[in-house]
């Protein structure tokens, strides 16, 4: 299945409008005016979204991250000897366009310059022919030196540079391929890592063992603080500390690299390659995400797979599908594609906005989603070997790594559709609920991909400085699962109650919840509050009242809500930032669930959405409100600006969606 680059494929779908809604009786003239304006905004937003559904039934917006994706794509092509002028020029055009005035590149819109991102962008532009003394390049290299030069960049950046001799392999943390043999009970076995890290680390063990060097096309002396001593020796942390212990373990691993048994090492690399190939998806990618695909291609190529081998040929073709070509000729690389996530959220938004449950667009979306349900075991089954499959993944092709969050939201979407084949829907939902319940962690909560993926050791490795590498339970995922279980009539199931108890215990002192997969406390609170109410907590519950008070306290003067990614690192940014449509939608969804429909905060929030909607029915949102790794890797989901405001407007006009199994089944009858 192939996605369009902008998610706008297909002719507009006929729009069967819902019945006109009237403001509730007894409302003030101001509230009635807000209600009418919201109704008109719903119509525009619904038309916009329906017109962008693919004929097969799915939606997909662009997934924007940062220029390391684009830089590493060029470096990969340089390493493999397949870089061409057209691709290079298009990538360079995009990278230049993302540079900030001070010469840096950030990892999110409006964010501070980030060293590793700036180093990689600079090197990519050097490959494209930009000269070191060009003004934009000179500003970048001066800033890099001020920050400590290449030596201060993250490990992944220095690995890319080591591939071309711009950095010494001896000066990188060691990652032995024998890791593939660690049993599942042993610390630092590959299943202790989150699935995204696991898929990246296994191929990198081969790269680390092989230590390849391709001739560098130019030197990078201008990126060192002292080219004569590019990596000055730093003192080790105290032995009694975790950092000190793992630094010394790395020294042992470097020693082992020199004496490793050749037969054992060769066997380990071959078994790692077998592990990689077994996890290649039907579309040629790995896990539906770009970074593991890039490193898997390099690793297999180093083991002798030529570029015409079916595995590598399919892998390289899959990477081309991550390209988004823009009207100005620039080329942006997506780190991932999100059709299942976008489709279930779009279906929820349209249904809550009043689109009839049997509308052809919703039926088509439900059919596509049910066809994407995964019916085979994946890496998750290592910890749950007897659990039957039934989840959904995030991407077009990713049968190895379904996720708990997508599965919960797909069920919520399916229950809003009046599908002609109810038995088929019921079977899909039953399998999904069983799988999600089976993926509950010991503490009663849910992570995104795995069960009890909470080992403290992977994040301590010197190698793992690129962001979160484990997948512990989070409030936002747990909230979505609890909401799904409540809709399925399982509010009193002991497993649901354990999830609720965990959520109540995780509430922050100020009344918010931490957002692992969205920015940040606004997202966490917007995910948890509707779940708690759906599960039967009264809106007068102290936890709900504290959350309402917090949301009201962080509302911006313009009536919207916004939160900057810096809230992951700095306390003063919690709930603070420029207003965005998606974050305003999350806050309103929480407040509406808490019974605050007639409050001043809700009316001001709805007015903000109505007032900032564009003529074509969407919203402008350059800010990044999605999270890959808190602080380290941020995402701008281009469909968020559409689905969450529409969901909030719909719930304001039409009321909250029904809760409980009986209501869900009645809705579908």
Lowest mean pLDDT among 2-6, 84-88, 316-320: 2-6
- Residues 631 and 648 placed together within one structural domain of the fold: yes
pLDDT digits (tens, 9 = 90+) for 256-276: 788 888 999 999 999 999 999
Q: Please give the residue range of the domain that contains residue 107.
A: 64-228+247-333
- Does the residue 570 lie in any domain? yes
Q: Which of 59, 41, 63 is nearest to 51 (CA)?
A: 59
352, 405, 471, 564: the catalytic one is 405
Residue 550 confidence class, pLDDT cut points 50, 70, 90? very high
Kind and range of the H or E run holding 637: strand 633-637
311 shares a domain with 195:
yes
* Domain-ending residue, one of 315, 333, 351: 333
Residue 21 maps to a domain: no
Residue 287, number of CB atoms within 10 A of its CB: 29
| CA torsion, ordered 455, 460, 159, 380, to nearest 10 deg | 0
Could you tell me if 69 and 52 lie in one domain? no
pLDDT in tens, 151-163: 999 999 999 999 9
- Total structural domains in the chain? 2
pLDDT interval class at 33 (50, 70, 90): confident
Q: Name 635's bridge partners.
A: 626
- pLDDT of 74 reads 97
Closest by alpha carbon to 179, among 162, 200, 158? Answer: 200
**Closest listed residue to residue 222, CA positions, set 102, 133, 112:** 133
CA distance 604 to 37: 12
* Whether residue 1 has pLDDT greater than 50: no
Residue-wise pLDDT tens digits, 308-366: 999 999 999 999 999 999 999 999 999 999 999 999 999 999 999 999 999 999 999 99
Residues 583 and 624 in one domain: yes
High-pLDDT (> 90) share of the chain, %: 84
State whether 432 and 290 are in the same domain. Answer: no
* 272 in the same domain as 381: no
Query: Which of 24-28, 235-239, 499-503 shows the lowest per-residue confidence on average (mean pLDDT)?
Result: 24-28
114-141 residue pLDDT tens:
999 999 999 999 999 999 999 999 999 9
Q: Is 285 helix (H, G, I), strand (E, B) or coil?
A: coil
CB neighbour list of residue 94: distance below 8 Å, 6 or more residues apart: 67, 70, 326, 330, 331, 332
Q: Looking at the whole model, is its pTM more than 0.85? A: yes
Q: Cα–Cα distances in Å, from 449 out to 281, 296, 400, 402, 418? A: 17, 21, 10, 7, 29
What is the pLDDT averaged over residues 81-110?
97
User: Strand 331-333 vs strand 626-629: parallel, antiparallel, or unpaired?
Assistant: unpaired
Higher-confidence residue of 473 and 8: namely: 473
pLDDT band at residue 11 using 50, 70 and 90 as cut-offs: very low
- Is the same domain home to 198 and 303? yes
For residues 56 and 68, state if they share a domain. no
**Do 209 and 87 share a structural domain?**
yes
- Distance, in Å, from the CA atom of 86 to the CA atom of 190, rounded to the nearest integer, reads 39
Q: Write out pLDDT tens, residues 421-462.
A: 999 999 999 999 999 999 999 999 999 999 999 998 888 887
Tell me if residue 130 is catalytic.
Answer: no
């Amino acid at each position: 299945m192939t996605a369009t680059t902008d998610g706008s494929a297909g002719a507009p779908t006929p729009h069967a409008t819902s019945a006109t809604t009237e403001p509730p009786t007894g409302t003030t003239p101001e509230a009635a005016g807000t209600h009418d304006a919201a109704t008109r905004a719903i119509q525009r937003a619904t038309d916009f979204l329906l017109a962008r559904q693919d004929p097969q039934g799915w939606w997909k917006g662009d997934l924007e991250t940062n220029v390391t994706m684009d830089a590493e794509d060029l470096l990969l092509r340089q390493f493999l000897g397949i870089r061409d002028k057209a691709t290079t020029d298009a990538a360079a055009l995009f990278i230049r366009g993302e540079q900030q005035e001070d010469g840096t590149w950030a990892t999110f819109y409006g964010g501070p310059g980030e060293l590793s991102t700036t180093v990689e962008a600079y090197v990519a532009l050097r490959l494209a022919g930009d000269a070191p003394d060009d003004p934009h390049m000179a500003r970048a290299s001066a800033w890099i030196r001020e920050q400590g030069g290449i030596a201060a960049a993250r490990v992944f950046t220095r690995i890319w540079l080591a591939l071309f001799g711009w950095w010494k392999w001896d000066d990188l943390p060691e990652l032995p391929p024998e890791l593939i043999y660690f049993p599942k009970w042993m610390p630092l076995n590959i299943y202790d890592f989150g699935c995204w890290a696991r898929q990246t680390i296994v191929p990198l063990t081969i790269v680390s063992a092989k230590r390849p060097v391709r001739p560098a096309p130019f030197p990078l002396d201008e990126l060192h603080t002292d080219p004569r001593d590019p990596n000055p020796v730093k003192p080790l942390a105290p032995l009694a500390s975790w950092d000190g212990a793992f630094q010394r373990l790395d020294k042992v691993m470097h020693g082992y690299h020199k004496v490793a048994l050749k037969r054992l090492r060769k066997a380990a690399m071959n078994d790692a390659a077998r592990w990689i190939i077994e996890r290649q998806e039907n579309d040629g990618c790995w896990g539906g995400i770009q970074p593991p695909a890039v490193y898997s291609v390099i690793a297999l190529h180093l083991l002798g797979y030529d570029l015409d081998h079916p595995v590598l040929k399919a892998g390289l073709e899959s990477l081309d599908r991550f390209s988004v070509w823009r009207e100005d000729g620039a080329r942006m690389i997506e780190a991932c594609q999100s059709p299942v996530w976008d489709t279930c959220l779009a279906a929820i938004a349209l249904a809550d906005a009043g689109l009839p449950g049997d509308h052809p667009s919703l039926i088509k979306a439900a059919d596509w989603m049910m066809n994407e349900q995964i019916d085979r075991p994946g890496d998750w089954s290592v910890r749950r070997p007897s659990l039957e499959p039934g989840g959904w993944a995030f991407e077009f092709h990713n049968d190895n790594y379904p996720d708990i969050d997508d599965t919960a939201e797909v069920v919520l979407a399916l229950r809003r559709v009046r599908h002609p084949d109810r038995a088929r829907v019921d079977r899909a939902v039953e399998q999904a609920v069983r799988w999600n319940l089976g993926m509950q962690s010991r503490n009663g909560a849910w992570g995104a991909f795995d069960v009890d993926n909470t080992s403290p050791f992977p994040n301590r490795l010197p190698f793992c400085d690129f962001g979160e590498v484990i997948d512990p339970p989070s409030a936002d995922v747990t909230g979505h699962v609890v909401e799904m279980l409540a809709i399925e009539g399982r509010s009193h199931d002991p497993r649901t109650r354990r999830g609720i108890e965990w959520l109540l215990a995780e509430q922050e002192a100020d009344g918010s919840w931490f957002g692992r997969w969205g920015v940040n406390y606004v997202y966490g609170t917007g995910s948890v509050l509707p779940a708690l109410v759906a599960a039967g907590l009264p809106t007068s519950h102290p936890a709900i009242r504290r959350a309402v008070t917090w949301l009201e306290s962080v509302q911006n003067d313009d009536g919207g809500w916004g939160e900057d990614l810096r809230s992951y690192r700095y306390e003063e940014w919690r709930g603070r930032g420029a207003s965005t449509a998606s974050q305003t939608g999350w806050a309103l969804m929480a407040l509406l669930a808490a019974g605050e429909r007639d409050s001043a905060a809700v009316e001001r929030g709805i007015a903000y959405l109505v007032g900032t909607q564009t003529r074509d029915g969407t919203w402008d949102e350059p800010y990044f409100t999605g999270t890959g790794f808190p602080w380290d890797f941020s995402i701008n989901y281009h469909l968020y600006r559409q689905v969450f405001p529409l969901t909030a407007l719909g719930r304001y006009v039409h009321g909250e969606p029904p809760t409980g199994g009986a209501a869900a089944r009645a809705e579908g009858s």
